[in-house]
């Protein structure tokens, strides 16, 4: 299994919303075969992005409220946050290349949207 840090949902604001870098949360369960298949992909993505991305894991068996809070049904579920806002999502197993592309594309789009002047009217 992966060596990524676990997230207690009580720490969501401190570790996700207040993070200076984007945060990818892996919602998983110990009994989930696809979740186990995704673990090495997440380790590789973590190494690829280094300090530009934080990846945290949430055991859905310990935090059943996440299904309703984040509106997903299946695991593994990956949700990408920037500034505490969801900017990307992947349900199911994916490759390192596809996940890295999703992260880069989502972060770039979110930052571009934040930089776009808002119409005051």
Q: Which domains does the chain have, with CATH numbers?
A: 5-115 (3.40.30.10)
32 is annotated as an active-site residue: yes
pLDDT, tens digit (0-9, with 9 covering 90-100), for 62-81:
988 888 889 998 999 999 99
62 is annotated as an active-site residue: no
pLDDT, tens digit (0-9, with 9 covering 90-100), for 11-21:
888 899 999 99
- Confirm if 88 and 106 have CB atoms less than 8 A apart: yes
User: What per-residue confidence (pLDDT) applies to 68?
Assistant: 86
User: What per-residue confidence (pLDDT) applies to 2?
Assistant: 58
β-partners of residue 77 are: 27, 91
The pTM of the full predicted model, rounded to 2 decimals, is: 0.89
Mean pLDDT throughout 24-37?
A: 96
User: What per-residue confidence (pLDDT) applies to 118?
Assistant: 66
User: What per-residue confidence (pLDDT) applies to 79?
Assistant: 96
> 25, 35, 55, 77: which one is catalytic?
35
Name the pLDDT band for 117 (thresholds 50, 70, 90): confident
> 9, 29, 32, 93: which one is catalytic?
32
User: What per-residue confidence (pLDDT) applies to 1?
Assistant: 46
Mean pLDDT for all residues in the chain:
90
User: What per-residue confidence (pLDDT) applies to 38?
Assistant: 96
- Confirm if 28 and 58 have CB atoms less than 8 A apart: yes
Helices first, then strands: H and E counts in the chain: 4, 5
């Amino acid at each position: 299994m992966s060596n990524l840090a676990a997230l207690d949902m009580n720490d969501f604001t401190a570790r996700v919303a207040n993070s200076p870098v984007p945060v990818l949360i892996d919602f998983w369960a110990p009994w989930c075969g696809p979740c186990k298949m995704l673990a090495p992909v997440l380790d590789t993505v973590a190494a690829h992005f280094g300090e530009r991305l934080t990846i945290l894991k949430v055991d859905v068996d310990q935090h059943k409220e996440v299904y309703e809070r984040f509106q997903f049904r299946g695991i593994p579920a990956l949700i990408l946050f920037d500034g505490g806002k969801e900017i990307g999502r992947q349900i199911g197993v994916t490759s390192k290349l596809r996940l890295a592309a999703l992260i880069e594309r989502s972060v770039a789009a979110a930052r571009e949207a934040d930089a776009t002047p808002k119409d005051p009217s």
